[in-house]
Amino acid sequence: MSDVTRARHGRPVHHWRRDLVELAALFTAVAVADGVANLIGHGPDGPALLVASALALAATAGFHTWWARRHGHAPPAATAGDTGARQAAETRSAGPAGQHDGAAGMAGTSTLWRMRTTVKDEPGSLAALCTALAERRVDILSLQTHPLADGTVDEFLLRAPETLGAAELTRAVAAAGGASTYIERADAHDLVDAPTRVLGLATRTALDAAELPLALRQLLGRCTIRSLPGRGREQESVPAEGVLEDTVMRLRAPEGGVLSVERPYLPFTPTEFARARALVELDARLGPRIPEGQDVLTLPEGDDIAVRRIDTGELAAAKAMHERCSARTLSLRYHGPVGDADRYLNHLLSPRFGRTLAAQTSSGRIVGLGHLLWDGDETEVALLIEDDWQRRGVGAELLRRLVGLAREAHCDSVYAVTQASNTGMVATMRGLGLPLDYQVEEGTVVITARLAAEASSLPRYDAAHRD
């Protein structure tokens, strides 16, 4: 029963006075228990009372054991008088006071943002920015830095609470030292880290020359890409290494001419310029190329046609098809009188301006052409079907595959420009089953199809599928 309370010279010291007190208390308790037992035991209901008391004590002990196991007790806190140690500090979740746990506060109510801001190139500038975001429960998913001559452009992918808007984020960043801040909504595709995204874009460009404009747009964000003719002073003004001018970069196109990339309000950084130039150089080294393969389709009348990608290498065959078309068919396609096809076919078939699908008979003769054309930030679709093959489903098959290519390129919509009298093209656009918008002006109809997520049934042109 002795208790070790302290140590002297490394040996435990026992208190004999405490032992005597504990023995006296024990004898007293025994005497009291004996007196109570005699008093109750000799009464009329004494045995019953003793049994009831024993059962009550047993039930109390059982309840205490169950409660202790279900609700474990923390060890008693040590006091300063016992060991001289400080009391343990109160434990709480990390983060600003009054906030819930981060996982609970962000679950199901977050928004992805892509943000770019310029900070001073000095120690602590990035830390101040991160602190300002952390105070508003904003999670930094990725960060890229673009060094400049007089500062650094920091590009963030953020996950913020749904209640935190773009304006409040911008104000917080400005208060932390950020300038020229640009912010826009992001999606799940942006969660891929920068090296992986760049390698993926390089792979797509290597497989298909038509991917270069799309790869540049995905690499640089919202921008307008134009291919300028390779004649005169325009090409001479662009050196081999390209030109970077604030929100505009110009690069020599591999097939001649100039690629002009423009992004309003957001200057390009030297890092972005170097990445874009590397993609263009890769494309130039690989030369002209399109994915091989074709789909063989059976039309309702039983004829088989093959659909495949073509480029300027099929210029002669495409021109021969134009010569077999009637003047009315060409007029409906090109919205007026048509002269020499060489003036526009080379442009239409070039991978720099879009993608072309050809419908061929079993003998290899082209009887239909479908074009998906990059028009700045928009995408145009156009069809030309030889007279003898019209109203047989060739145009519908080509259009459905063109829309599938547009979806793969992450286009929000496609539009077709035709004449109001071209009922065949209007009916083909309606056959897509997509929401359509119409704009009519002086006999010309612009039909815009919105590529809703529900239209996943549209076919995807698989270049690996071969006949």
Q: Please identify which residue in the block is written with the tokens 């442009």.
A: 347
Q: Where in the chain is the domain with CATH 3.30.70.260?
A: 109-190
Q: Please identify which residue in the block is written with the tokens 């021109």.
A: 319
Q: Quote the CA–CA distance of 385 and 164 in Å, as a whole number.
A: 52
Tens digits of residue pLDDT in 247-281 = 899 898 877 788 888 887 788 888 889 889 999 99
Q: Quote the CA–CA distance of 225 and 227 in Å, as a whole number.
A: 7
Sheet with 152-161, strands from edge to edge, namely: 139-147, 152-161, 110-119, 179-185
- Which class does domain 109-190 fall in? alpha beta
**Tokens encoding 25:** 């208390």
The predicted pLDDT at position 362 comes to 85
| Mean pLDDT (whole number) for 405-423 | 86
Q: Please identify which residue in the block is written with the tokens 């020499």.
A: 340
Residue 1 — pLDDT band, cuts 50, 70, 90? very low
Q: What is the mean pLDDT of the chain?
A: 76
CATH 3.40.630.30 fits 294-450, yes or no: yes
Q: Quote the CA–CA distance of 359 and 83 in Å, as a whole number.
A: 90
Q: Is the whole-model pTM more than 0.85?
A: no
Tens digits of residue pLDDT in 135-180 = 889 988 888 888 887 788 888 888 899 888 888 888 888 888 888 8
Query: What are residue 159's phi and psi, to 5 degrees?
Result: -115, 115
Look up residue 61 and give its DSSP letter: H
**Tokens encoding 48:** 């019953």
The predicted pLDDT at position 71 comes to 45
Q: Are 297 and 287 in contact (CB under 8 A)?
A: no
Q: Where in the chain is the domain with CATH 3.40.630.30?
A: 294-450
Query: What are residue 392's phi and psi, to 5 degrees?
Result: -125, 10
- The CA-CA-CA angle for residues 307, 311, 317, to 5°, reads 75
Tens digits of residue pLDDT in 69-78 = 554 433 333 3
Which residue would you say has higher pLDDT here, 418 or 375?
418
Tens digits of residue pLDDT in 426-446 = 899 999 888 999 998 877 899
Neighbouring-strand partners of residue 382: 371
| Mean pLDDT (whole number) for 121-145 | 87
Q: Mean pLDDT check: name the lowest of 5-9, 163-167, 223-227, 389-393.
A: 5-9
Residue 43 has pLDDT above 90, yes or no: no
10 φ/ψ sector (left φ>0, alpha ψ -120 to 50, else beta): left
The upper half-sphere exposure of residue 440, i.e. CA atoms within 13 Å in the direction of its Cβ, equals 6
| Mean pLDDT (whole number) for 362-367 | 90
The predicted pLDDT at position 217 comes to 83
Residue 297 has pLDDT above 70, yes or no: yes
Which H or E element spans position 243?
A: strand 243-245
